[in-house]
Structure 1
Amino acid sequence: LQQQPNEFAAFNCKVVSLLLLDRFDEALSIINKDKIHTGILKFEKAYCEYRLNRTREALTTLRSITDHDTRSKELLCQVLYRMEDFEECFDLYRDVIKNSQDDFDAERETNLAAVVASLQLWGIKDVDDAGLEESSYEICYNNACHAIGKEDLDTALLKLAKAEEMLRNDPDLAEDELEEELAIIRVQRGYIYQRQGQNEQASQIYNQVLKTKPSDTGLVAVVSNNVVTINKDQNIFDSKRKIKAATGDNLKHKTVSAQRKHIDVNQCLVHMYSNQ
């Protein structure tokens, strides 16, 4: 590149190498500084912005692409999902699944099931489930979330049990990976018990999960907030510790706006109960 700065193949290789090394800041910087190739590497630019949590910038970059291929459509789906534009995300995923012919259909179907669950769970739109074969624990889990949104809690429990069984029978999962995935299912089961008024059972599940110290900070935030909800005006010391774990700028991209709103309300209540 020093000898032939206009050589696109070399420039492209450099950018891709930086992406593979997770050096997104550096990759984005050289893309933005280069006036010759930046218009060609819009996908790479958007991907950097997405990975750096510059979601709106990523959306703007992707919107500027006039001829989308499958990979740019899928990145746009991920951006829309993060921005909670689940309706457009749903339509776009269906288009991608319909018009793609490769080995990634299972992953796309899992993502589609998650979008459908989000539409229902967060009260955005009353929709049927995606009608997908429950061939993976991820799809079972997402269908369980959809059932929760439909207030069909018994069906949700059955689907969570099926998801857990599939997880435990997965020979490719290491023990630590299994525990991380099981924690997500257990928390959702605890939430169902909480919705059913079985707070003691829910609290037991939540505290068991927290004792395992999950690496997913978003999961910890949700569990901690649920415990605060159950505590109400009791056990204020515990609630103060839990609400601290549920708040922080680093959790913005780990939770959806509805969850953050509930956390904010609980934080105010904890302050009120503790006379702060």
Structure 2
Amino acid sequence: MRVRWGSFIPHLILSAFSLAILLPLVWIVRVSLTDKLTAYKIPPEIGHVGIENYIEIFSAYPFERWFLNSLFVALASTAISLPLATAMAYAFARFNTGGIFLRLGVLASQMLPPIILVLPLFTLFFTTGLMQTHLGLILAHLTISLPFLAWMLVSFFEGDSASLEEAARIDGATRWQAFILIAVPVAAPGILAAGLLGFILSWNEFLFALVLSGADTQTLPVGLASMETHAGVEIAPLAAATVLSLLPVFVLLPFLRKYLIKGLSLGALK
């Protein structure tokens, strides 16, 4: 009986936390499928169920453009930052490049509030003609994702892979070959986990996109914030747009879940 209660109570607590996390998502899905009048009613009612709100966000708002802008910027920033962060992390782990001061500098840059970087980036992009462009947004997102990914990946290159690289060097491999053929495959779960987190970080970024983007380059977070009419914010279409904005994460997570868990646990063990 004690064993049963000992396993039941933790499961009960975890179930309660899971319900607390899932409740907002369930609420948003419910609101997105109801009509605009029913969406405001308290206590909540099911009312009419349909996809009119999903149709409206494509007909009344440039949702497709917001979505494609976010997807392009997130993929591009992740594709650029991940190889650079991998090389930085490898240099930190193998050669202690820059010493502890450079590592602390990378960590300190991650601690800076993004609003501190907005004004210098605005001035720089305005001078160079990168304002309201996709390239400008990608470069701005690199200032957030690159330090985070580099610091995260350092632990994946410390440990057993060093001895494997030394064995490869003894067999005649160059440093570059040891890095590409040994270090990167061993750290692949961590690199994939970092790539997933970097994509989500860029996908959800709001402040830089708000200040540095234009009408043609607005991303989803900025677009969702601008969904306001003369009558105020219409919750039902906004809920439908929110549900669609979550789709990339839900599509990627099942495929990369095992790599995310394995990568994070690998870094913790090392």
Q: When the two structures are superposed, what TM-score results if normalisation uses the length of structure 2?
A: 0.27
Q: When the two structures are superposed, what TM-score results if normalisation uses the length of structure 1?
A: 0.26
Q: Which has the larger radius of gyration?
A: 2
Higher relative contact order (CA 8 A, sep 6+): 2
